[in-house]
Copies of this chain bind each other. A is one copy, B any other.
């Protein structure tokens, strides 16, 4: 590198640092205003955003076409291009998603608990916004709209950093969000998008923008989430992966088990709630294992089994140690016979990702034990792991699913994007 190049690089790094710091400060200021924005103001902004997206649909698609053309030129994968590409239907879905968020109840101001003290003090625990949320996402332009709208509904300022391949699309969508904020008289810094493709911007966000970011939400593949989880100096709402299990107990109804296992694995194989491992109680190996494997194979699934299950059902591919901790996100499942519920729980603890795990059984005591002892964000009895979804939980839109135990766990919807404070009302009380 020449001196001139080095100087140019240094200068750019300083510029980005300055720019990101200013974004952080502006977000903090906007968050103070949003904290007491009324439901009416926030919903007016959201509806105006949806309107702007519909009105500017053509402009958004034009910008998106440029992004897609660039991506094709660099030889991006088909799946990548698919996620990046917008069409009129996808643009309308974004607008409709924002309208749905407008229709959700406003979590801010909800009294979570209240009680009186013997001295007459009335104490309330009341929901407040979290503050400033940073969202780091890959080249799915729709996340711009979803995440920005969800953060606003919960009274939070958002700093969006989308994949550089969707730079133009995300900026066009962001313009519509800002239009909506302005229409409702809310500060346009309530939803900011990082205005540079420079990758060092992400590093500044991971460092928390000098205390201006309260929480980070990564949206994307495992390598992005891993980097954010490892490097972030602020709390992160995320799941690294979903190594989800279905355990078929000795007291399982075989028909129900077949239906649940096939759905949990095959309904959509690419989502985090898809099952990756099937555990079957050794006691029912003779009766249940083969029909389960046949059902999976008939549904188009490749089955990898441990030695014992391969002895029961010949023709199954051997599973290696690594299979037990692999998130295939594909039509592949690992199958293992276990010594009842205890070994099933131990296996899930050892190899699972604390995301979503299910038991199929007609034994209520076994179900209760599984639900109590499996330490995952979501535990299910006699239902498919594919229900791991904020919408399916009735929470409305979600920004993702968290597997950490702090603050948010499971689907992260508007309620999970809030904090709380204590509001105490007295009549002159002093502490003796």
Which residues of chain A have a CB within 8 Å of any CB of chain B?
32, 35-36, 115, 117, 121, 123, 128, 130-131, 214-215, 235, 253, 256, 259-260, 263-264, 267, 349, 367, 371-373, 375-384, 386-387, 392-394, 405-407, 409-410, 419-431
Contacts and interface: CB of A to CB of B under 8 A. Distances in A.
A386 B259 contact: no
Given A35-B375, A373-B36, A409 B405 contact: no
A296 to B, nearest CB: 14
Contacts of A373: 35-36
25 contacts: A32-B375, A36-B372, A117-B394, A123-B394, A214-B406, A235-B235, A259-B430, A264-B430, A377-B421, A377-B422, A378-B422, A379-B422, A379-B423, A381-B426, A382-B425, A382-B429, A383-B424, A383-B428, A384-B431, A387-B424, A406-B406, A406-B407, A409-B419, A409-B420, A410-B421
Given A372-B36, A384-B431, A431-B386, A405 B256 contact: no
A362 to B, nearest CB: 10
B384 A215 contact: no
A292 to B, nearest CB: 14
B421 A376 contact: yes
A379 B128 CA distance: 12
Given A32-B375, A406-B215, A121 B422 contact: no
Contacts of A378: 421-422, 424
Contact of A428 (B131, B260, B426): B260
A380 B428 CA distance: 10
A130 B424 CA distance: 28
Contacts of A407: 406-407
B384 A423 contact: no
Given A349-B32, A421-B378, A430-B260, A121 B405 contact: no
A176 B401 CA distance: 42
Interface of A is mostly: mixed
A2 B349 CA distance: 47
A111 to B, nearest CB: 12
A206 to B, nearest CB: 13
Contacts of A427: 382
A421 B267 CA distance: 24
Contacts of A376: 421
Nearest to A380: B424
9 closest residue pairs by CB, A with B: A383-B426, A263-B430, A405-B419, A386-B431, A256-B428, A407-B407, A380-B424, A383-B429, A382-B426
B117 A392 contact: yes
B406 A393 contact: no
Contacts of A392: 117, 431
B260 A406 contact: no
A421 B409 contact: yes
